Amino acid sequence: MIGKSTKTVLLGLGLGLASAVLTFAPPAHAATTAGAGAGAGAMVDARKSGYEFMLPATQVLQRDDSQNPAMLWVKDGAARWSQIEGANGKSCASCHAHAKASMKGVAAKYPAYSSSLKRVINLQQQINFCRAARQGAVPFALENPALLGLESYVAFQSRGMLTAPSSDAVTVAAQNKGQSLFNQRMGQIDLSCKDCHVDLAGRSLAGNLIPQAHPTGYPLYRLAWQAVGGLQRRLRNCLVGIRAEPYAFGSEEMVALEAYLVKRAAGMPLESPAVRP
């Protein structure tokens, strides 16, 4: 007998296995009101990073750079930063000098509108644009390990800074489209992003707590992948999990979802490169 404090949903595992009925425990957290010092009735920001939903052993991996496996990708990106490639004989450093200074805060604002490409793009796409237009080199495939290394290195320069989504009209339109996609039920399981990451956030699914889907740690090392991956890879995992056709890497839909998720996380500190289960 399932009581009112729990909710059961039928989820397909999407791996050729039988479907399983999973019971969600009551929420681990909820919005609370501030105390007298913050003003009567004021709402406390109830947003939480995915870090707060992890087991302590996984949190330790992220806190200690000597244990965080994602730092291997950062190291690779640092080496590539000064590596001359392409017909123009340039490296990233040729234009941007020291990343510690020139890239500080850059990752905090993406996805953003590109005046050169006339559309909203994410950080991987911006790196590829520079690679093609400035270096005269062949762009990497999205989610390529070399590209993830560069993205990790660039994002690392903004670690601890607050997420600051772009607010120009074109990016806002992409954010609005992403919000519609976030709320849209889809797939054979007929679930939306909101169903899990808002309505059921903090509840248990297959032994893990469902996070609120704030993308403050990307690119990140996921234990399930045994590798670093970008936000679009995680979004595609979710779409496959609800038995929906995943959008292509770099598609307008994927970038729009990214843009909205970053807007939801506005003001939250970046953790790149993070670790997740």
Active site residue 238: yes
> Any residues with CB less than 8 A from the CB of 143 and at least 6 apart, and which?
124, 229, 230, 232, 233, 249
Catalytic residue among 95, 130, 193, 238: 238
The per-residue DSSP string of the chain comes to: ---TT-EEEEE--SSSSPPEEEEEPPPS----B--GGG-TTPBP-----GGGGS-HHHHHHHH-TTT-TTHHHHHHHHHHHT--BTTTTB-HHHHH--HHHHTTTTGGG-SEEETTTTEEE-HHHHHHHHHHHTS--PPPPTT-HHHHHHHHHHHHTTTTSBP----SHHHHHHHHHHHHHHH--BTTTTB-HHIIIIISTTSEETTEE-------S-SEEETTTTEEE-HHHHHHHHHHHTT-PPPPTT-HHHHHHHHHHHHHTTTPBP--S-EE-
Query: Each residue of 24-62: b (16+ CB within 10 Å) or e?
Result: beeeeeeeeeeeeeeeeeeeeeebbbbbebbeeeeeebb
Distance CA 95, CA 273 (A): 24
List the catalytic residues: 238
